[in-house]
Structure 1
């Protein structure tokens, strides 16, 4: 009658578990990078929509509320109200930022005051970009996997 496991059985189980875990680690890293890119993109879209709403609600047609991008590491942006910083966001190290405009502000009707239309968030680990596209007339904000200005079907 055997009461335990032998050292060989224990080492064999550890070897099998280490092989499976070594195959899973790259997949976990890719999933984490993808999630960071998605979360950063959604946070940016939510903050642009919030900025648009507070600009409309302020009732004053000025650039009192502005979102300003930071295109150097660590990448991110901040939101100001009358030159006072009210929110700062820093992207994870796996997310880079590039785009056409340095700041976003809205008029009373919700239309952006600048004519640039997109900001790209890029993950070097995934070699993938997500684009935040801002419609120049209506102020509609959306996320796209391509730079196309046409809405995705």
Structure 2
């Protein structure tokens, strides 16, 4: 005599069970809860790096314009209170031809170009900072409180540094 024994398989032919869905949702929630705070820090660091690179690019372009036009009239005006900087060609007027407002997460902490106490960086016709004195701009990320420094030396070299200039 043969017995018909049916063995229930663990595979559900109708799809995924509710318990399986709940477990996947719980695991996903735990992973997101662990990763999300660090993700905000990552975005803050990335934003700070992008702002520093854009500022270096703008300063280098301004230097090239001063060399090309053989003019002393190109300058950058830093506004620490408004977290912005302006590119100005004083040969065509005193109005800025480009104004860059920093993102909300980045702070323009300090600029050390105090020739006339108004935070302007002028370039000579050779692309050097006016007066042969360099300086730096301090940028701070408000989330991570990390700092980046845009450094302009006395011969006009522009670079980004993670450590404060001496």
TM-score range, shorter chain: 0.7 to 0.9
> 1:116 Cα deviation (Å)?
4.7
Structure 2 residue aligned with 1:65:
74
TM norm structure 2: 0.81
CA displacement at 1:124 relative to structure 2: 2.6
2:31 aligned with 1:20, yes or no?
Answer: yes
Q: Which runs of 5+ in 2 are unaligned?
A: 1-11, 114-118
Cα-Cα RMSD: 1.5
Q: 2: distance between equivalents of 1:109 and 1:17? A: 58
Please show how residues 49-64 of structure 1 align to structure 2 within 5 Å.
49-60=60-71, 62=72, 64=73
The answer as to 2:121 corresponding to 1:104 is: yes
Aligned residues: 145
Which one of 135, 140, 143 corresponds to residue 160 of structure 2? 143
Give 3-state SS (helix, strand or coil) of 2:130's partner: coil
**Shift of the alpha carbon at 1:145?**
1.0
What residue is the counterpart of 1:95 in the other structure?
106
Q: In 2, Cα distance between the equivalents of 1:68 and 1:148?
A: 21
Greater C-alpha radius of gyration: 2
- Partners in 2 of 1:117 and 1:84 — Cα distance? 24
